[in-house]
Amino acid sequence: MSLTVLVFLALGAFAGSCVNGLAGFGTAIVALSIWLHVFDPATATALAVTCAVIGHGLAVIRRGFDFLTVDAVPLIIGGLLGIPLGVYLLLYLDPFYVKVGAGLLLMAYVGINLARPSQVVAVPHRRLADGSVGFLSGILGGFAGLSGVIPSFWGNFCGWGKLEQRRIYQTFNGTILTATLIAHVWNGVFTTENLWLALLCVPFAVVGTSVGLRLFDKVDEAQFRLFMHLLLFFSGLMLVLPAVVL
């Protein structure tokens, strides 16, 4: 492995895990934008899912089960049903239209919401709606490790607070990405070579998650909401640009 590849590997693991520690999701959003310069999509996705699982596990260990919530159950059920379709997309189909469509939707939502922040609508929790959001998120999770993007979209739309968002994202993503990792191993996405790369990521993922957890304690509601909007916009941009440019 060249020094350049090692630097990209470490930077992606640290930056992605730092965002995950703060927001409860975002490992793949940040890490893929770095890793796709040196790794193929399947390898980059496998590494992103691995780092995310490490981060979620560390968050539970460091903060206890306060970061877990039963409110995420409808999302989880839908997500587990969506993972197989996401893995299928990763292995067999051209993801161009899925990436571009999801990316444009996210950027449009963030642009409108930032331009008219007073228009945010608080929507009561609905189990069927949450399950549908979970299903779409499971597809993105199996497909690119991006299971947290749509729940974040949904959480902002519903007006969830900082702590509520964090608990739901942590519980949902930890479960879905663990299941995604198992599906990747089962379907041959996670290879022996990926295992060694994942082991190299571990120390950087641990440090990054720890930094993100500390940052979470320091930001207020307004700062957290702004960060989530910027992260959503960046995630949309990262879905569109690679699909269009590459």
Type of residue numbered 106: L
Q: What is the pLDDT along the chain (246 residues), one digit of tens a residue?
A: 788 899 999 999 998 898 888 877 778 878 877 887 788 877 888 898 889 888 888 877 776 655 567 778 899 999 999 999 988 887 777 666 666 776 786 687 677 666 655 555 555 557 888 899 999 999 988 887 778 878 877 887 777 777 787 788 878 888 888 898 888 888 887 788 888 998 999 999 999 999 988 888 888 877 877 887 787 787 778 778 766 665
Q: How far apart are CA 172 and CA 165, in angstroms?
A: 10
Q: How far apart are CA 49 and CA 45, in angstroms?
A: 6
119-145 pLDDT per residue, tens: 555 555 578 888 999 999 999 888 877
Q: How far apart are CA 21 and CA 43, in angstroms?
A: 22
Q: Tell me if 95 sits within 8 A of 146, measured CB to CB.
A: no
Q: pTM (2 decimals)?
A: 0.74
